[in-house]
Amino acid sequence: MLHAARLLLVDSGNLLQPGEILVEGDRIHAVGASVDHPQGAKVIDLGEVTLMPGLIDAHVHLFLHPGSEDLQTVEESVPWRTILAEQAAKADLLAGFTAERDMGTEGAGSADTAVRDAIDQGLILGPRMRISGNAIDILGGHEDANRFNPAQHVLSNADYANSAEQIVEVMRAQHKEGSDFAKIYETGPDRLVDGEFHTPYQYTEAQLSAAVEEARRLGARVGVHAMGEPGTLYAAQAGVASIDHATQLSEETMRLMREKHIPAVPTFTIFEYFANHAPSPAAAAREQALLDYKIREFKRQVAAGIPFAVGSDVGPFPHGTQAREYELMVQCGMKPLAVMQAGLINGARLLGWDGQIGKLKPGYLADVIAVPGNPLEDITTLEHVSFVMKGGTVVRQ
């Protein structure tokens, strides 16, 4: 049994003082200001903290670390990258992230299947994972090896698919190798010219619809990298599960996202990181201008009432630090409770674990963290997790 000064009910926003959770096996049995104390139950008194559900990051890259992304995939072997991915998974879990969606191994193929399965079998520490294998991309697209000498035949970081038929073929191969969902690059290189944002689409609405239909047949979903129009519109029309990055959304796209309950996953943290770690002043200015544009557009999206989930794009910046995403979404215009509901309730739904995680309720998996202070008043408390339980097992105290 867990006892603490406070307990946050994320769905209602109620803060119980004190708060208690009775855990039986890997599930929550009871939640309240006071619950039954069965004879012989172990009591963990965590003191002056707030109990809340384990955090969810809907956009991670376990197979990336800070440094040149292209060179990682060229110079580092898949076995080495898998070892680093195991370390990344552990860092994320200890930071309070008990569930994540890995949005592409960036050239490591289905190696994420092994990481997910090892976590599930208790061989290594890590969050509950939804994994995609490689992302899917067109020839010469977003993650192709476009800046290398063609004579060297450097491999793409993604799996090629140049038609609807090829998309389906690739998805079937990835599913055979263990993928839970498909990650598709829907937009290519981004440019901000005189305040106008431009990014080419890579797949038509019909091609994305074929992917969504195949995912439905497989019992899976499609998440897309889509920075702006018209790719974001095509993604919404096709009915994808999420639109990740979502820097530019038209009124029609936002209408469809509301209607179809398609969340945007803003990934502010990666934009901030690139702006703060650019290789030159000119590059820093470009990245900062893009971030400023993104913030302005995000405020429009919040006002329009579209759904959101929380994903950080962690990997190019250090694993275990991505609670910064929750803070940035508050800084950019959302209320702390709304951000936590987006991250936990919408995140659970997006990962296909609705009714299992994201809330502290009887019958849910006992994924519980503790943070100092009150996250309703100070969202930065999520960056200071002091206790982590996943599936009824304490992994940090």
Phi, psi of 183 (to 5 degrees): -110, 125
- The pLDDT value recorded for residue 41 is 92
Query: DSSP assignment of 193-228, as one string?
Result: ETTEEE--B-S-HHHHHHHHHHHHHHT--EEEEE-S
- The pLDDT value recorded for residue 185 is 98
Degrees, nearest 5: CA angle 277-226-61: 55
Question: pTM (2 decimals)?
Answer: 0.97
| Per-residue model confidence as pLDDT tens digits over 33-42 | 999 999 989 9
State the chain's maximal CA–CA distance in angstroms: 71
- The pLDDT value recorded for residue 145 is 85
Task: Give percent of the chain with pLDDT exceeding 90.
Answer: 96
The mean per-residue pLDDT over the stretch 117-141 comes to: 98
| Per-residue model confidence as pLDDT tens digits over 73-118 | 899 999 999 999 999 999 999 999 999 999 999 999 999 999 999 9
The mean per-residue pLDDT over the stretch 129-157 comes to: 93
3-state secondary structure of 313: coil
Question: Taking phi first (over 0 means left), then psi (-120 to 50 degrees means alpha), and beta for anything else, what does residue 216 get?
Answer: alpha
d(CA 69, CA 237): 31
167 pLDDT exceeds 90?
A: yes
Task: Give percent of the chain with pLDDT exceeding 70.
Answer: 100
Q: Which domains does the chain have, with CATH numbers?
A: 2-53+359-396 (2.30.40.10), 55-322 (3.20.20.140)
- The pLDDT value recorded for residue 343 is 98
Q: Residue 256: pLDDT band by 50, 70, 90 thresholds?
A: very high
Q: Residue 225: pLDDT band by 50, 70, 90 thresholds?
A: very high
Q: In sequence order, what are the residues at sequence separation of 6 or more whose Cβ sits closer than 8 angstroms to the Cβ of residue 147? A: 70
d(CA 50, CA 342): 19
The mean per-residue pLDDT over the stretch 238-263 comes to: 98
- The pLDDT value recorded for residue 243 is 99
d(CA 98, CA 358): 10
